[in-house]
Structure 1
């Protein structure tokens, strides 16, 4: 059941990354966009890491982590090519990476608690 959710979320994230988004609610800060990036990639990492059920094999966790980071980097780099109104922003990329890190750590923490 989690695989379709992760796949649909990934597709929605791709679409949201390349289209013009109008009327996005304001969070009242000067860096709303970075918060959105952080949360979007936290959820993405959470879904995929949970789907692959972090195992005792470190490689599985590392592959998922690196794959989600690479996905964010590629998407950030190509969004301008697909939509001239969108631009590459290193701070967006940093927010993506931090979201992936926190999403992965949350799953890891839940798994440690479940094992106790």
Structure 2
């Protein structure tokens, strides 16, 4: 079940990253977009670290972090090439990376994945 949730979340994030989004709710700040990126990537990295918990390998959180950051970078590049209404934004990539850091860190701190 967790694999399904993780895959669906990932696919939803990929699709949302590549389509033109209209009517996204405003949080009332000038950097709403960056907040959405951070939160989305917290969820993404947390779900995948949690999914791989049974593997009990110390490297899993680091691998998940690397893959999530790489996915964020690839999606930012694809936005530029796939959708003329979207652009590459280095600050979005930085927000994605911050989200991946926090998601991985939260998973480790909540003892979802114990590093011993």
Going by fraction, where is helix more abundant, 1 or 2?
A: 1
Contact 2:49/2:60 (<8 A) preserved? no
User: Which residue of structure 2 aligns with residue 93 of structure 1?
Assistant: 93
Q: CA deviation at 1:58?
A: 2.5
**Aligned-pair RMSD on alpha carbons?**
1.8
Distance in 1 between the 2:108 and 2:15 partners?
28
User: Which residue of structure 2 aligns with residue 81 of structure 1?
Assistant: 81
User: Which residue of structure 2 aligns with residue 22 of structure 1?
Assistant: 22
Question: Aligned residue pairs: how many?
Answer: 114
TM-score (structure 2 length as normaliser) = 0.91
Q: CA deviation at 1:38?
A: 0.5
Distance in 2 between the 1:44 and 1:71 partners?
10
Q: CA deviation at 1:36?
A: 0.4
Unaligned stretches of 5+ residues in structure 2? none
Residue 30 of structure 2: SS of its match in structure 1?
Answer: coil
Unaligned stretches of 5+ residues in structure 1? none
User: Which residue of structure 1 aligns with residue 44 of structure 2?
Assistant: 44
Judging changes above 3 Å, is the alpha-carbon distance between structure 1 residues 11 and 56 closer, same or farther for their aligned structure 2 residues? closer
2:99 pairs with 1:103: no
